[in-house]
Amino acid sequence: EPIIAPRRIQQLSEDVVNKIAAGEIIVAPVHALKELIENAVDAGSTALEIVLKEGGLKLLQISDNGCGIDKEDMAILCERFTTSKLKAFEDLQSIGTYGFRGEALASISHIAHLSVATRTKESSCAWKAQYSDGKLVAPKPGQSAEPKAIAGRQGTQITVEDLFYNVPTRRRAFRSASEEYAKILDLVGKYAVHCDGVGFSCKKHGDPTMGLSVPANAGTIDRIRVVHGSAVANELVELACESERWGFKAKSWISNANYSVKRTSLLLFINHRAVDSTPIKKAVEQTYAAFLPKGGHPFVYLSLDIDPKRIDVNVHPTKREVRFLNEEEIIDMICDEIRSSLGKVDTSRTFMTQT
């Protein structure tokens, strides 16, 4: 006799499916913000303003000056798998934009109160709407759910309030708002360094001081100076390498052998998306170990462009991880470049002390 009787299999309701998917994509406020930053950059914005309350848990607001959203699209904006960026599965092979699955806004609308105000160049006014569970909802009972005409400039403002309000276990897991705020500043800092031509500001609501502010016209070194300080900005070397064979181009700013800190700062972008990579971090640290005092670590900003055909951006719901072909060969080439650059600085110093 089996101990367990078979249980009937049932289809999960769409609402449950959507909440599960949302929880996988957005684990913490910083993940929602990353999606919103990428959307704003995809929209061609040159200025991004971010305002937060309670580390983004109470309020996460991002205003951009990008192309805006057509009023006609507002009804389906937050439905799952609605996107302006991807049509066929094959398009994933050449995707140039950050977003591609039309899941971000949908997910957020399932686990937070979401409102959108937006204006395109052609529109004579801005339009504002609220969303819940993927659909337009009335701001108050008895009111219309249809987008409402308001005054506003070109661009989009997304307001996310009370993240995880309906996922109490997740909400309770956040002990400290300042920890979430720190993660957010770290992420905004990464994009502020990387996104040439885009200005960034990030602050707590009601706080007159900026957490971070980078003007649109700042060059890369100045961006690094604003975000990471002069100590590192004064000790940077530029690197570039590429290989047709392995289908990649790398651009990088790295600290020289004079600079050494307790922990590695690795700002890694692959095809303009901030990602983590343990193999790259390990290889970079190993390379530096030969040049820095014991226990010393470098600063490395590395932007890798990899032929989209050789990359799979779709391995992880959060897109934090990407896989690409010939990873080892590419890492080797970059580390060789770092080594020879650090070596050059070394010999010039030896030379100077000898004379």
Q: Is 18 within 8 Å of 109 (Cβ atoms)?
A: no
Query: For residue 124, which phi and psi values (nearest 5 degrees)?
Result: -85, -10
Q: Which does 66 bind (CB under 5 to 8 A by kind): Mg ion, ligand ADP, none?
A: ligand ADP
Whose CA is closest to 324, among 286, 282, 273?
Answer: 273
The binding track of 29-68 with respect to Mg ion, each residue x by CB under 5 A or -, is ----------x-----------------------------
Binding of residue 126 to ligand ADP (CB under 6 A): no
Give residue 127's identity as a one-letter amino acid code: W
CA dist 146 and 221 (Å) reads 46
Contact pattern for Mg ion over residues 75 through 114, marking x by CB under 5 A: ------------------------x----x----------
Distances (CA, A) of 155 to 69, 199, 326: 8, 14, 40
Q: Which of 84, 264, 314, 326 binds ligand ADP (CB under 6 A)?
A: 84
* Residue 119 to residue 104: CA distance in whole angstroms: 20
Told to check if 147 binds ligand ADP by CB under 6 A, we report no
Query: Which residue, 1 or 72, is less far from ligand ADP as judged by CB?
Result: 72
Tell me the closest approach of the beta carbon of residue 109 to ligand ADP, in angstroms. 9
Q: If contact means CB under 5 to 8 A according to the sort of partner, which of ligand ADP, Mg ion, none does residue 112 touch? A: none
Q: Which of residues 306-345 bind ligand ADP (CB under 6 A)?
A: none
Q: Among Mg ion, ligand ADP, none, what does residue 102 contact (CB within 5–8 Å per kind)?
A: ligand ADP
Residue 267 is encoded by which pair of tokens? 């700002």
CB neighbours of 97 closer than 8 A, spacing ≥ 6?
Answer: 42, 85
Q: Which two tokens stand for residue 277?
A: 């990579």
Q: Taking CB under 6 A as the rule, does residue 183 contact ligand ADP?
A: no
User: Cα–Cα distance between 39 and 273 in angstroms, integer?
Assistant: 12
* Contact (CB, 8 A) for 21 and 101: no
Instruction: Pick the closer one to ligand ADP by CB: 71 or 297.
Output: 71
Number of other residues whose CB lies within 10 A of the CB of residue 218: 19
Residues forming contacts to ligand ADP in the complex (CB under 6 A) are 35, 39-40, 43, 64, 66-69, 77, 83-85, 99-106, 156
The residue ranges that bind Mg ion (CB under 5 A) are 39, 99, 104
